[in-house]
């Protein structure tokens, strides 16, 4: 066995071990503490868990690319809300009245296009000004959220289209539509990051930007494409979620960016870029959703949930550091 | 060679940075099949000239001609497409990627749907690695390689395209002799294929071994070009620094004090085993061995960066544990690290602040940092080490490679440590400053400091050390005094070969 294989294995496997631990813990603790008499690991419960993971999970795949690239995107929550409004509102636009149910693909396309556009704006600013993505997307987070409020004030935007609701509630092979979307996105992004030139360049840029520039990789356009991808995924997430719920509040999607970043980091993506895995992010998303659900199952309230997740995040980052050091031979800091 | 068209020609290149005229009308050419040395002091403008050629910088004035056709190198990619390949002085690799991905960085072979053609990537890389005779595979993670092997990856990049000209910017700085031989074979091979080679190095013996012509830069100006066979070290040095250099051996003996540092049976995993040595005040001890012999790891242990797995460290006769660099600095042990970019410098900080970094706490005036005192320290060591910079405000990242090294050395010297460990102190440093640094080390010893010099350059250890420990695969194999050492026995000791004479260390 090569040196470091064990630690690599532990690192890759850690998130799945953690998920297993959560499952066991909540099943056992739930038996004593739960108010409901249903088991935690009930099949329906687990299927719902996948479905509920989808909105954050779909965007987290995009965030994985962005963070591997050495950037961050704080505006995804606002993008999510804005695309939801475009979706629901455009369904009722008079010019599409004659389309019947054909308005659905048109509205979907409009919402997705909005997402891509918002992402492109972020990417373009990062590329052309050279300002750190953190600052740029902090600005656009506020800006895009402002647009959301300008649209309808404090009022929710609502429209239920029953064809859409039916579509969203379908279960194919037992899995909900949203779950299928999450799985498909995960697969596509995994393929992108491990098999394609674009994906490998994303790693190279995040790892050593100067080397990438010297090697002739066009870093600016590359990063812009990634911002467009995450914009698209934020929109896709909105499209999937709001097809079913049919109503968007101007505050929707707030703090999404933090949940998403937490999931990506739990999955082992380096905050400084250059390393990370889409599959582990998937694990990170499930782990967080399990935690929220599990803590709810044993009767904890939202503030407790947040506190626990915060503590776990710090613990995981610490553990990760420990695993990354190969015993006494490693340099100390 | 006259009558032929040059593979590459530069004419009247000017490049200025704020406060520095790095290149001042430099003209220079390489013939196909020629190895052309580019020499000059630290900061003379060698790397800058090559970066202009490689499309990384745009010249303020002047022209680049490829086979006599004027060209603009708008980007590194364009330069590479036009057949100019650049092997950088500072490693430029992505640690988390595989060797193959690094070798073909920016031009991974493509299949349908933008997929990477892994089979071809690995096969092509394999072929190049075979030519370089390296012991790692295309799939290896670059982060797992030693510095020397990383350098080989960098060199492998040059072999991916049909190059017209290849630029080597100090490629041997971290190579062992065996690896150097391989590199020289590669260069000979390129030469046979009619590629023009520009070779930058501060090591005279290499220049005279492999190059056909030598060009010298001084302060951004071209001071001359000579046919290597018709010139000699002295003449080249004089062209570089404008004066003659006294290279005589200068072990001026003085009284030695008590034992400052003693190490007994120190081990650290498989990195090194059972290492014992002593060093007295006023003594310079050389640690000589190949890259990877465990020298750096021993130094890092003494500096509190690694925990030993067994053994004892005694400082002034007292056994102690050194738990951290802070601890080491407090006890008067300083380390000038080998990898200056990674370990020794904050590239985004200015020269002065880098130099005074470990002692800002001591330089306080009330709650504030005493800026005046900092500047004074900087000025003192700038003069002493001849650091070329327009002023202390310059960011260290903008200095030439050799001047960066001098900042690190100045930083630790200004701490007045009891035990100073310098790891490869003159890597990438020009001949003039090299002897300056050697003198400085001797001066420090004369003032009663104990100095450990880690080096893979034999002339260096022979030149400065009173005693030499030879290391091979994590063990001290021999101990020499400056009287009984011979080049031959040193070479044998660091290759693990037996020898008669000299004191055998058990
Ligand atoms: N990006 C930059 N900004 C400002 N000054 C720079 C920059 N790059 C180089 N310089 C300055 O230009 C001069 C020439 O530097 P260069 O790196 O070409 O030297 P060099 O001959 O390669 O030296 P060495 O032997 O130390 O590598 C130096 O004074 C350096 O400080
Ligand atoms: Mg240089």
pLDDT tens track for B248-297: 555 556 778 888 899 999 998 888 888 999 999 989 999 998 777 888 88
In ligand 1, the atom with minimum distance to the C-alpha of B40 is: 21
Nearest by CB to A328, from B95, B304, B309: name it: B309
Separation between Cα atoms, residue A77 and residue A227, nearest integer Å? 14
Residues on chain A touching B150 (C-beta within 8 angstroms): none
Separation between Cα atoms, residue B484 and residue B478, nearest integer Å? 12
A304: left (phi over 0), alpha (psi -120 to 50) or beta: alpha
pLDDT exceeds 90 at position A226 = yes
B104 and B40 in a common domain: yes
Are A73 and A121 a contacting pair, CB within 8 Å? no
pLDDT exceeds 80 at position A32 = no
Residues on chain B touching A208 (C-beta within 8 angstroms): 92-95
Q: Closest Cα of chain A to B144: distance in Å?
A: 10
The structural domains of chain A, with segments of one domain joined by +, span 53-253
pLDDT exceeds 50 at position B163 = yes
On the 0-12 / 13-18 / 19+ scale of CB atoms within 10 A, B195 is buried
Are A61 and A194 a contacting pair, CB within 8 Å? no
On the 0-12 / 13-18 / 19+ scale of CB atoms within 10 A, B71 is middle
Top-confidence residue, A153 or A78: A78
pLDDT exceeds 50 at position B1 = no
Residue B34 lies in a domain: yes
Question: pLDDT tens-digit profile of B324-344?
Answer: 888 888 888 888 887 766 666
Closest residue to atom 25 of ligand 1, CA basis: B42
Residues on chain B touching A329 (C-beta within 8 angstroms): 268-271, 306
Nearest by CB to A196, from B116, B269, B304: name it: B116
Close Cβ partners of B330 (under 8 Å, ≥ 6 residues apart): none
Are A280 and A269 a contacting pair, CB within 8 Å? yes
Q: Which of B367, B378, B450, B366 is nearest to B414 (CA)?
A: B378
Q: How many helices (H) and strands (E) does chain A have?
A: 13, 4
Closest residue to atom 22 of ligand 1, CA basis: B47
* Residue A301 in contact with partner chain B when CB distance is under 8 A: no
Top-confidence residue, B244 or B428: B428
* Ligand 1 first shell, C-beta below 6 A: B 17, 20, 22, 40, 42-48, 89, 388-389, 398-403, 430
Test site for ligand 1: of B21, B37, B48, B222, most ligand atoms within 8 A of the Cβ: B48
| Residue A16 tokens, joined | 């799945």
Test site for ligand 1: of B90, B393, B398, most ligand atoms within 8 A of the Cβ: B398
Test site for ligand 1: of B37, B43, B199, B407, most ligand atoms within 8 A of the Cβ: B43
| Residue B421 tokens, joined | 């460990």
User: Cα of B200 to ligand 2 centre, how many Å?
Assistant: 8
Residue B42 lies in a domain: yes
pLDDT exceeds 50 at position A58 = yes
Separation between Cα atoms, residue A299 and residue A262, nearest integer Å? 23
Separation between Cα atoms, residue A245 and residue B407, nearest integer Å? 63
Question: pLDDT tens-digit profile of B474-483?
Answer: 889 889 988 8
Query: Residue B158's pLDDT is what?
Result: 82
Separation between Cα atoms, residue B288 and residue B277, nearest integer Å? 13
Among the bound ligands, the one closest to the CA of B433: 1
Residue B3 lies in a domain: no
Which run of H or of E encompasses A158?
Answer: strand A157-158
User: Picking from A8-12, A248-252, B350-354, which range would have the lowest pLDDT averaged per residue?
Assistant: A8-12
User: Picking from A264-273, B30-39, B57-66, which range would have the lowest pLDDT averaged per residue?
Assistant: A264-273
Q: Please state the rounded mean pLDDT for residues B302-322.
A: 87
Residues on chain B touching A200 (C-beta within 8 angstroms): 97, 101, 108, 116
Q: In chain B, pLDDT over 70 holds for what percent of residues? A: 92
Q: Which of A125, A93, A53 is nearest to A293 (CA)?
A: A53
CA A22-A24-A26 angle, to 5 degrees, is 65
Q: Closest Cα of chain B to A266: distance in Å?
A: 19
b/e A8-41 (16+ beta carbons within 10 angstroms → b): eeebeebbeebbeebeeebbebbeeebeeeeebe
B505 and B455 in a common domain: yes
Closest residue to atom 19 of ligand 1, CA basis: B43
Report the SS3 class of residue A160: coil
Question: pLDDT tens-digit profile of B436-475?
Answer: 788 888 888 888 889 999 988 888 888 889 899 998 888 8
B492 and B386 in a common domain: no
Closest residue to atom 1 of ligand 1, CA basis: B398
Query: Residue B251's pLDDT is what?
Result: 55
Q: Do A212 and B105 touch (CB under 8 A)?
A: yes
Q: Find the CATH number of the domain harbouring B439.
A: 3.40.50.300
Query: Residue B432's pLDDT is what?
Result: 76
Are B164 and B133 a contacting pair, CB within 8 Å? no
In ligand 1, the atom with minimum distance to the C-alpha of B202 is: 25
Residue B2 lies in a domain: no
Q: Please state the rounded mean pLDDT for residues A18-43.
A: 78
User: Picking from A207-211, A324-328, B327-331, which range would have the lowest pLDDT averaged per residue?
Assistant: A324-328
- Residue whose structure tokens are 């017209």: B164
β-partners of residue B310 are: B267
Query: Residue B160's pLDDT is what?
Result: 86
Are B174 and B292 a contacting pair, CB within 8 Å? no
Report the SS3 class of residue B227: strand
| Residue A110 tokens, joined | 């409009």
Average pLDDT of every residue of chain B = 84
Closest residue to atom 2 of ligand 1, CA basis: B398
Q: How confident is the model at residue A124 (pLDDT cuts 50, 70, 90)?
A: very high
pLDDT exceeds 60 at position A7 = no
How many residues are there in chain B? 506
Residues on chain B touching A207 (C-beta within 8 angstroms): 94-97
Query: Residue B3's pLDDT is what?
Result: 61
β-partners of residue B287 are: B454, B469
Query: Residue A323's pLDDT is what?
Result: 61
Nearest by CB to A207, from B97, B114, B270: name it: B97
Tell me how many domains chain B contains: 3
Interface predicted TM-score (ipTM): 0.80
* Residue A12 in contact with partner chain B when CB distance is under 8 A: no
B145: left (phi over 0), alpha (psi -120 to 50) or beta: beta
Residue B1 lies in a domain: no
pLDDT exceeds 50 at position B503 = no
Residues on chain B touching A211 (C-beta within 8 angstroms): 92-94, 102, 105
B320 and B409 in a common domain: no
Residue B92 lies in a domain: yes
Q: Do B105 and A215 touch (CB under 8 A)?
A: yes
Q: How confident is the model at residue A281 (pLDDT cuts 50, 70, 90)?
A: very high
pLDDT exceeds 90 at position A123 = yes
Q: Last residue of a domain, which of B241, B260, B289?
A: B241
Best of A191, A197, A201, A329 to mutate (most B CBs within 10 Å, chain B): A197
Q: Which of A323, A61, A33 is nearest to A182 (CA)?
A: A61
Q: Which of B200, B228, B196, B224 is nearest to B213 (CA)?
A: B228
Are B505 and B476 a contacting pair, CB within 8 Å? yes
CB atoms within 10 A of CB A126: 23
Q: Please state the rounded mean pLDDT for residues B333-358.
A: 77
Report the C-alpha dihedral over residues B42, B44, B49, B51, rounded to 10 degrees.
Answer: 30
User: Cα of A127 to ligand 1 centre, how many Å?
Assistant: 27
Q: Please state the rounded mean pLDDT for residues B158-186.
A: 82
Separation between Cα atoms, residue B383 and residue B91, nearest integer Å? 29
Closest residue to atom 8 of ligand 1, CA basis: B398
Q: Last residue of a domain, which of B241, B259, B288?
A: B241
Query: Residue A328's pLDDT is what?
Result: 38
User: Cα of A87 to ligand 1 centre, how many Å?
Assistant: 55
pLDDT exceeds 90 at position A79 = yes
Q: Which of residues 38-57 of B touch A (CB under 8 A)?
A: 56
Which run of H or of E encompasses B423?
Answer: strand B419-423
Query: Residue A197's pLDDT is what?
Result: 92
Q: Please state the rounded mean pLDDT for residues B192-217.
A: 90
Terminal Cα distance for chain B, rounded: 57
B316 and B297 in a common domain: yes
Domain extent for B456:
245-332+419-506
pLDDT exceeds 90 at position A109 = yes
- Residue whose structure tokens are 């925990």: B307
Q: Which of B266, B342, B346 is nearest to B306 (CA)?
A: B266
Test site for ligand 1: of B10, B19, B47, B341, most ligand atoms within 8 A of the Cβ: B47
B51 and B123 in a common domain: yes
pLDDT exceeds 90 at position A91 = no
Q: How confident is the model at residue A113 (pLDDT cuts 50, 70, 90)?
A: very high
Nearest by CB to A332, from B92, B269, B324: name it: B324
| Residue B138 tokens, joined | 């295309």
Separation between Cα atoms, residue B45 and residue B215, nearest integer Å? 12
CA B310-A332-A16 angle, to 5 degrees, is 105
The interaxial angle of helices A302-324 and A5-33, nearest 10 deg, is 160
B222 and B253 in a common domain: no
Q: Please state the rounded mean pLDDT for residues A146-157.
A: 87
Query: Residue B340's pLDDT is what?
Result: 64
pLDDT exceeds 50 at position B234 = yes
DSSP sequence for B88-128: -SS----TTSBHHHHHTTT---B-GGGBB-HHHHHHHHHHH
Q: Do A216 and B80 touch (CB under 8 A)?
A: yes
User: Cα of B225 to ligand 2 centre, how many Å?
Assistant: 19
Question: pLDDT tens-digit profile of B109-136?
Answer: 998 888 999 999 999 999 999 988 888 9
In ligand 1, the atom with minimum distance to the C-alpha of B403 is: 26
Among the bound ligands, the one closest to the CA of B43: 1
Are B29 and B8 a contacting pair, CB within 8 Å? yes
Query: Residue A329's pLDDT is what?
Result: 45
Are B167 and B217 a contacting pair, CB within 8 Å? no
How many A-B residue pairs are in contact by the CB < 8 A criterion? 88
Nearest by CB to A331, from B76, B113, B300: name it: B300
* Residue B119 in contact with partner chain A when CB distance is under 8 A: no
Beta strands in B130-192, from DSSP E residues, in sequence order: 165-169
pLDDT exceeds 60 at position B301 = yes
Are B300 and B268 a contacting pair, CB within 8 Å? no
Q: Please state the rounded mean pLDDT for residues B491-499.
A: 74
Among the bound ligands, the one closest to the CA of B46: 1
Beta strands in B48-186, from DSSP E residues, in sequence order: 61-66, 69-71, 84-87, 165-169
Query: Residue B502's pLDDT is what?
Result: 44
B103 and B179 in a common domain: yes
B429 and B328 in a common domain: yes
B424 and B398 in a common domain: no
**Could you give the strand order of the β-sheet that contains B467-472, starting from the edge strand earlier in sequence?**
B333-336, B419-423, B450-455, B284-289, B467-472, B475-481, B503-504
Q: Closest Cα of chain B to A44: distance in Å?
A: 38
Separation between Cα atoms, residue B41 and residue A172, nearest integer Å? 72
Query: Residue A326's pLDDT is what?
Result: 43
Separation between Cα atoms, residue B91 and residue B341, nearest integer Å? 10
Nearest by CB to A215, from B76, B95, B113: name it: B76
* Residue B304 in contact with partner chain A when CB distance is under 8 A: yes
pLDDT exceeds 90 at position B213 = yes
Confidence (pTM): 0.74
User: Cα of B428 to ligand 2 centre, how many Å?
Assistant: 8
Residue B140 lies in a domain: yes
Q: Please state the rounded mean pLDDT for residues A220-234.
A: 96
Closest residue to atom 12 of ligand 1, CA basis: B22
Q: Last residue of a domain, which of B241, B267, B284?
A: B241
């Amino acid at each position: 066995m090569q040196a470091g294989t064990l630690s690599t294995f532990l690192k890759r496997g850690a998130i799945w071990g953690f998920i297993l631990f959560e499952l066991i813990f909540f099943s056992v603790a739930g038996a004593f503490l739960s108010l409901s008499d249903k088991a935690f690991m009930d099949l329906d419960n687990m299927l719902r868990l996948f479905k509920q993971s989808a909105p954050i999970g779909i965007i987290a795949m995009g965030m994985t690319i962005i963070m591997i690239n050495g950037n961050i995107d704080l505006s995804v929550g606002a993008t999510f809300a804005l695309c939801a409004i475009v979706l629901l509102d455009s369904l009722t636009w008079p010019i599409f009245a004659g389309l019947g149910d054909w308005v659905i693909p048109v509205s979907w396309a409009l919402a997705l296009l909005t997402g891509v556009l918002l992402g492109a704006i972020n990417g373009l600013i990062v590329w052309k000004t050279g300002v750190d993505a953190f600052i740029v997307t902090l600005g656009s987070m506020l800006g895009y959220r402002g647009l959301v409020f300008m649209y309808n004030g404090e009022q929710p935007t609502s429209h239920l289209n029953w064809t859409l609701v039916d579509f969203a509630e379908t279960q194919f092979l037992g899995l909900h539509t949203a779950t299928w979307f999450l799985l498909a996105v995960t697969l596509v992004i995994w393929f992108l990051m491990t098999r394609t030139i674009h994906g490998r360049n994303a790693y190279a840029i995040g790892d050593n930007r100067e080397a990438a520039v010297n090697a002739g990789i066009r870093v600016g356009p590359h990063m812009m494409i990634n911002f467009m991808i995450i914009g698209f995924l934020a929109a896709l997430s909105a499209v999937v979620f709001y097809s079913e719920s049919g109503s968007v509040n101007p505050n929707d999607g707030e703090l999404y960016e933090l949940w998403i970043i937490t999931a990506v980091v739990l999955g082992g993506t380096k905050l400084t870029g250059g390393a990370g895995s889409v599959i582990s992010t998937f694990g990170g998303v499930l782990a967080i959703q399990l935690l929220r659900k599990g803590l709810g199952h044993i009767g904890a309230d939202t503030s407790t949930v947040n506190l626990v997740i915060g503590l776990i995040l710090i613990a995981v980052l610490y553990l990760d550091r420990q695993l990354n050091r190969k015993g006494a031979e490693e340099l100390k800091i | 060679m006259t009558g032929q068209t040059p593979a590459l020609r530069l004419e009247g290149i000017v490049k200025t940075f704020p406060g520095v005229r790095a290149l001042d009308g430099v003209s220079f050419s390489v013939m196909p099949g020629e190895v052309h040395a580019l020499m000059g002091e630290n900061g003379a403008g060698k790397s800058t000239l090559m970066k202009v050629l490689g499309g990384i910088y745009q010249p303020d004035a002047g022209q680049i001609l490829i086979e006599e056709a004027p060209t603009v190198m708008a980007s590194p990619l364009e330069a590479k497409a036009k057949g100019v390949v650049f092997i950088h002085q500072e490693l430029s690799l992505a640690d988390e990627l595989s060797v193959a991905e690094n070798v073909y960085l920016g031009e991974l072979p493509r299949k349908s749907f933008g997929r990477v053609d892994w089979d071809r990537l690995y096969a092509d890389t394999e072929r190049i690695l075979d030519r370089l005779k390296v012991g790692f595979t295309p799939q290896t993670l670059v982060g797992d390689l030693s510095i020397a092997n990383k350098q080989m990856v960098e060199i492998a990049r040059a072999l991916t395209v049909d190059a017209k000209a290849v630029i080597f910017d100090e490629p041997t700085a971290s190579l062992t002799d065996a690896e150097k031989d391989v590199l020289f074979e590669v260069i000979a091979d390129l030469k046979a294929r009619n590629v023009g080679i520009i070779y930058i190095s501060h090591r005279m013996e290499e220049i005279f071994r492999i190059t056909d012509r030598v060009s010298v830069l001084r302060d951004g100006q071209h001071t001359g070009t000579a046919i290597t066979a018709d010139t000699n070290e002295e003449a080249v040095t004089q062209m570089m620094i404008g004066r003659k250099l006294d290279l005589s051996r200068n072990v001026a003996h003085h009284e030695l004090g008590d034992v400052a540092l003693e190490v007994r049976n120190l081990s650290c995993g498989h990195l090194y085993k059972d290492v014992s040595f002593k060093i007295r005040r006023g003594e310079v001890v050389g640690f000589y061995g190949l890259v990877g012999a465990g020298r750096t790891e021993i130094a890092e242990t003494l500096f509190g960066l690694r925990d030993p797995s067994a053994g004892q460290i005694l400082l002034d006769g007292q056994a102690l544990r050194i738990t951290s660099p802070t601890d080491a600095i407090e006890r008067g042990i300083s380390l000038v690290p080998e990898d200056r970019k990674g370990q020794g410098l904050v590239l985004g900080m200015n020269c002065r602040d880098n130099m005074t970094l470990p002692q800002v706490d001591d330089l306080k005036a009330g709650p504030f940092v005493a800026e005046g005192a900092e500047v004074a320290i900087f000025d003192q060591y700038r003069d002493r080490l001849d650091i070329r910079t327009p002023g202390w405000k310059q960011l260290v990242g903008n200095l030439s490679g050799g001047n960066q090294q001098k900042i690190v050395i100045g930083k630790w010297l200004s701490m007045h440590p009891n035990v100073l460990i310098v790891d490869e102190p003159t890597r990438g440093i020009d001949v003039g400053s090299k002897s300056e640094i050697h003198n400085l080390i001797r001066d420090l010893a004369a003032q009663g400091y104990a100095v450990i010099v880690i080096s893979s350059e034999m002339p260096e250890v022979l030149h400065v050390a009173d005693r030499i420990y030879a290391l091979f695969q994590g063990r001290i194999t021999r101990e020499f005094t400056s009287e009984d050492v011979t080049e031959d026995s040193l070479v044998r000791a660091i290759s693990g070969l037996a020898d008669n004479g000299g004191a055998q260390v058990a």
